[in-house]
Amino acid sequence: MSGDPSPPGGATSGDPAADGLVVDAEIRRGDAVVVAAFSVAPGTTTALVGPNGAGKTTLIEAVAGLVPLSRPEVSGRSTSVRIDGRILDDPVRDVFVPPEQRSVGVVFQDLRLFDHLDVLSNVAFGRRARGEARSDAESIARRWIGAVGLGGAESSRPAELSGGQAQRVALARALAADPDVLLFDEPLSSLDVRTRAEMRRLVRTHLDALNGPRLLVTHDPADAFALADQVVVLEGGRVTQTGTPAEIQRRPATSYVAALGGVNLVWGDASDGRVVVSVDGSASGAEQVHERPLELTVLDHEVAGPVRCTIPPSAIALSPSRPRGSQRNVWVATVRSVEPMGDRVRIVLDGPVGLAADVTPGAVAALSLGPGVEVWAAVKATEIDVQPV
Amino acid sequence: MFAALGAAIIAIPLLALLVRVPWSGLVDAATSDVVRDALLISLVTSLAAAVVSIVLGVPLAWVLARTDAPGRGVLRALVTLPMILPPVVGGAALLFAFGRRGVLGEWLEQSTGLVLPFSIWGVILANTFVALPFLVITVEGGLVAAGTRREEAAATLGATPWHVFRRVTLPSVAPAIRAGAILAWARAFGEFGATITFAGNLPGRTQTLPLAVFVSLDADRDAAIAISLIMVVVSFVILLTLRDRWWSGSAR
């Protein structure tokens, strides 16, 4: 794998001999037990999603070698962590490769930058640690600092950086060490909405440039769907579903997955802060092209060309007449179905674009919502997340 | 009221010392051969004890803070024991271990010719015995406060445990090492009981400032006061330099 920030693209086609990251884990910590099996092919990104306390971070730490696998009791079979066939952890065979010999890069949720070192030394740390000459390590570190958009901040201390900048340093530090596998724990959870969209684009760029397997932990479905090729759902220490984002959305196995998959995904063409929606593929399950497409106003004015937009169902407001507020994204839709989901009701809409909206049971009664009813739908530009595809 | 009384208990003796200072003869008393020798021995032995404490104490603190070796509780109690043990008992214990008839002393003299008791090496050993715990507990506290999160991050970047220790652990506890070393040095600088028991009170060889004060109280009261003044001033300066780094900076 190249340590260059921009290696030649198109290297993502999987080599059958290199089977990427294969995890078959059982980890017991006190009362908590995590039992999970999944694999991540080279050049692909898997999102590990689940509610807080599901064991996502524990699994990441097991792959990194910070937590050893337990001797299997629950799974009743041998367990292991392997990268490209190499066994990193196998408690039955008594194999445990320490973290420094794994070449597994980690971007920690709490970043863990070295406060006593400047940005340059932080990013150069991995290469220096493996004995590379200072000048070589630092010139590669400089390139990575530039690649994450922090050029000029080389001599800053972590304490002087904003949250978004510190996260870029953590990303650059992990990538500059040229890892075989990249683990990314809650990459965007600590950032504000604006920084988030920017950072998501950056993360996507760098994930795509990495030839190895990438594992992303998140509890935000928007991150999972925007960045991942495969989604592994972890609930209460067990994998409840594995599949592509589309599969997860269409056939949710648990109510958590259903809520997770409820994020609306639409595709379209962006220019100058507007997205002309061409295809939707989430709530209705069918992909359709409309003659009179919906045009969405979005925050991001820089993005252009084909994009994928995510819109949370809770962000779509329904009203009987044209809403008078400042919202510019309004359209008339027809209710296709009404499904109670816990304390909310999911309204699936037809119209210029098929979308799901979550409303309260009170709103259903007030609007007399039922199949065939026409309503005005509205969504704020700030609620729409835009990703180039 | 009680606060004032508490302050007075400490302030009154120090003021009494100042009142009795023979300001006119101070320079003569402070530059006498006895005082000069004692000051030199005190500085050399206390600094040596501080250095030995760093070299031995940092690894010891690391074992206590970072490993889950069995018997750590016992080890920690053992290491901190000299802080509450009467120094004279420590001196006697050193004598039984390293004296000419001691458990190790006899072997040490036969194999290397080194005789610790009543030598400057003995003073350094006695000073280290009482000073080491201050460094160990300060650095252990620093290690616990710094946590292992950054060390883990360094390991995932490919750093060996030794590289992690040098490049991540040590810099993160540097303030604690500095504070611990100053405390250890201060403790060694004022050491009396263990030194006089183990190393004796030989002017020009093992007589440190505190010992010189004790001897001079009978023989030359002005010299005793002059030496005491030196020690009060030195101690006070240490406390002032430590104030920001340690007493209020304990969050590091």
d(CA A157, CA B8): 46
Q: Which residues of B touch A132 (CB under 8 A)?
A: none
pLDDT for res B68: 87
- Amino acid A259: pLDDT: 65
B18/B16 Cα distance (integer angstroms): 5
DSSP per-residue codes, A108-175: -TT----TTS-HHHHHHHHHHHTT--HHHHHHHHHHHHHHTT-TT-TT--GGGS-HHHHHHHHHHHHH
* Residue A178 distance to chain B (closest CA, Å): 9
- pLDDT tens per residue across span B22-72: 887 777 777 788 888 888 999 999 999 999 999 999 999 999 999 988 889
Q: Chain B: nearest CA to A103, how far in angstroms? A: 7
Q: How close does chain A come to B141, measured CA to CA in Å?
A: 19
Q: What is the percentage of chain B residues whose pLDDT exceeds 70?
A: 96
**pLDDT for A18:** 45
ipTM confidence score: 0.76
- pLDDT attached to residue A183: 95
Q: 3-state DSSP call for residue A243? A: strand
pTM of this prediction exceeds 0.90: no
Q: What is the DSSP letter of A381?
A: G
A65 touches chain B (CB under 8 A): yes
State whether B155 and A126 contact (CB < 8 Å): no
User: Can you read off the two tokens belonging to residue A220?
Assistant: 């935000």
Find residue B135's DSSP bridge partners. Answer: none
B interface residues, A as partner, C-beta within 8 Å: 149-150, 152-161, 163, 167-168, 171-172, 174
Tell me: the pLDDT tens digits for A196-241? 777 877 888 888 888 899 999 987 776 787 788 999 999 889 998 8
* Mean of per-residue pLDDT scores for chain A: 83
Enumerate residues 6+ apart whose C-beta is below 8 A from A163. Answer: A190, A191, A195
Chain B residues with beta carbon closer than 8 angstroms to that of A114: 150, 153-154, 168, 171
d(CA A187, CA A59): 16
**Residue B68 to residue B150: CA distance in whole angstroms:** 19
Cα dihedral: A69, A74, A75, A80 (round 10): 10
Query: Taking each helix axis from N to C terminus, what angle separates B33-66 and B174-189, rounded to the nearest 10 degrees?
Result: 140
Q: Which of residues 87-106 of A touch B (CB under 8 A)?
A: 98-106
Alpha-carbon span B98 to B101, nearest angstrom: 8
**3-state SS class at B40:** helix
With cut-offs at 50, 70 and 90, classify the pLDDT of residue A16. very low
What HEC string does A299-358 produce? CCCCCCEEEEEEECHHHCEEECCCCCCCCCEEEEEEEEEEEEECCEEEEEEECCCCEEEE
Percent of chain A with pLDDT over 70: 86
- Paired residues of B120 in beta bridges: none
Is the pLDDT confidence value at B187 over 70? yes
Q: Contact at 8 Å (CB) between B246 and B174? A: no
- CB nearest to B159's CB, from A113, A116, A129: A129
Report whether pLDDT(A135) > 70.
yes
- Nearest beta carbon to residue A110 from set B149, B160, B161: B149
| Interchain pair B160, A129: CB under 8 A | yes
Torsion of CA A101, A105, A107, A111, to 10 degrees: 40
